[in-house]
Structure 1
Amino acid sequence: MRLAELSTRSGVSTATIKYYLREGLLPPGRRVTATQAEYDEEHLRRLRLVRALIQVGRVPIASAREVLTALEDDSLDHNSRLGTAVWALPHGPGPTEDDPHTDAARRTVDALLERLDWENAQAYGAHSPAYGMLVTAVATLARLGYPCSVDDLAPYARAGRQLAVSDLDLIERYESSEEQLQAAVALTVLYEPVLLALRRIAQAEESNHRFGQGTSEQGTSA
């Protein structure tokens, strides 16, 4: 297919495709004339992955290039490739080392992971952006005086494990490794608002059961 068809099928403008080509995010097409090239289904799949990383995941160009490099690294297994793709996504702030609550928060997180027997998470430790984000969140909870012990956090961790099973079930619906990488990025980003919305709806339901009169009138009086 020519550049115009690649643009139509991918939903990415020709100018953006040319930019991705210049940045090395998309391999060059097969040259047919001095000014034209042909592209195939592999280019379309790669372009969708690049779009998922940059346009959906808001991953910087340099980080997207790292993900694509990992994709082509035959020494990495599929699990490592998926991890690289998801870790490249923007995360919340890491821990502030001069915060007196940070060390205690890190001990709490380590104790939580040990209780759950999440050995891989413990091994990644400080190298994981999610680990750092969790330490920061726990430190903030402690600083403000809210519950954040291992017992308090464990139910959330167990729920997170069940969500991870659902995430990987969705990703495995896609056949090729590149499609799974694209799905891992896109679904991680796009399902987070779904999780937030469902949690708040569930909170309203539970609050009504505990404190309401059996029916909810929240929002009906506006």
Structure 2
Amino acid sequence: MRISELSRHSGVPIPTIKYYLRDGLLPPGRATAANQADYDEGHLRRLRLIRALIGVRGLSVSATREVLAAVDERQDDLHLLLGTVLGALPADRDAADDDDAADAADDDANAAAPDLTDVEALTARMGWKVSSRTPAAQVVAETLETLRVLGVEFDWRSLLPYAELADRTAELDLDQLRDAGGPLQQAERAVLLAVLLEPALLALRRLAQEHHSAQRYGG
């Protein structure tokens, strides 16, 4: 297909496609003339993934390049590929501003690492096999620590019912990838579901809270 068709099928403007080609995010097409090239379905799939990473997930171009490099290496291992595009592995680092990145690294070095004891107990009870490096574990640990500092008695046992709901939600997420096609399509679908569904899931929780509040406390 010509670049105009690639633009039409992907929804990405031609100038943006040319930028991705110049920057190496998108491989060159097959040259047919001095200033013309043909593109195939592989280009379309990769372009859709780039659009999902930059336009939906909000990664910088440099971070997207790093993720795409990891994707190219991990297409035979869907678990690692999904971990990469969803940010569970270190390949997801936004290097848009080197100064900010350096400052953040200094802050991280000076800050005490969160205590993961509760998280480890929770994942063990759930039977989850997760990386100790995943940022999600640190988020849970930091949240529990904040609750304790504020005087709220909330530990990993309190999270168990929520973890069970999250487990079922994760199964539903991965069920959506069954008919997505090859690894690149599955990676794109995973990004779209993970990023775009999260606000809707939170909104559903708010709706349910409103309903049950009315049921319990409404006049």
TM class by smaller structure? 0.7 to 0.9
Using the alignment, how far apart are the partners of 1:51 and 1:211 within structure 2?
46
Q: Alpha carbons of 1:181 and 1:143: their partners in 2 closer, same or farther (altered >3 Å)? A: same
The alignment of Structure 1 onto Structure 2 pairs a total of residues equal to: 205
Picking from 114, 126, 138, the partner of 1:102 is 114
Match of 2:19 in 1: 19
1:86 aligns with 2:86: yes
CA displacement at 1:146 relative to structure 2: 2.2
Report the identity percentage: 43
Structure 1 counterpart of 2:59, one-letter code: V
What is the rounded CA distance, in whole Å, between the counterparts of 1:101 and 1:77 in structure 2?
A: 30
Contact 2:118 2:156 in 1 (8 A): yes
* CA distance 1:197–1:24, change in 2 (3 Å): same
Q: For 2:73, what is the secondary structure of its paired residue?
A: coil
Task: Tell me the equivalent position of 1:111.
Answer: 121
What residue number does 2:136 align with?
Answer: 130
Distance verdict in 2 for CA 1:74–1:81, change over 3 Å = closer
Q: TM-score, normalised by structure 2?
A: 0.85
Question: What SS class does the counterpart of residue 6 from structure 2 fall into?
Answer: helix
1:132 CA drift (Å): 1.9
CA separation in 1, counterparts of 2:151 and 2:58?
33
Residue in 1 aligned with 2:218?
212
The alignment partner of 1:147 has SS state of coil
What are the within-5 Å matches in structure 2 for residues 58-207 of structure 1?
A: 58-73=58-73, 76-87=76-87, 88=92, 102-103=114-115, 106-118=116-128, 120-121=129-130, 124-125=131-132, 127-207=133-213
Provide the C-alpha distance between the structure 2 equivalents of 1:7 and 1:189, rounded to a whole number of angstroms. Answer: 23
Question: What is the root-mean-square deviation in Å for CA atoms of aligned residues?
Answer: 2.4
Instruction: Name the amino acid aligned to 2:126.
Output: L
Give the Cα separation in 1 of the matches to 2:114 and 2:138.
Answer: 10
Letter in 1 for 2:122: L
TM-score (norm 1): 0.84
Question: Where in structure 2 are the equivalents of 1:21-40 lying within 5 Å?
Answer: 21-40=21-40
Note the alpha carbon deviations across 1:133-171, whole angstroms, 9 max, x for none: 222222222222223212211111111000001100112
Residue 50 in 1 paired to residue 50 in 2?
yes
CA positional deviation for 1:98: 6.7
Alpha-carbon distance in structure 1 between the residues aligned to 2:6 and 2:212: 49
Distance 2:150 2:35 in 1: 62
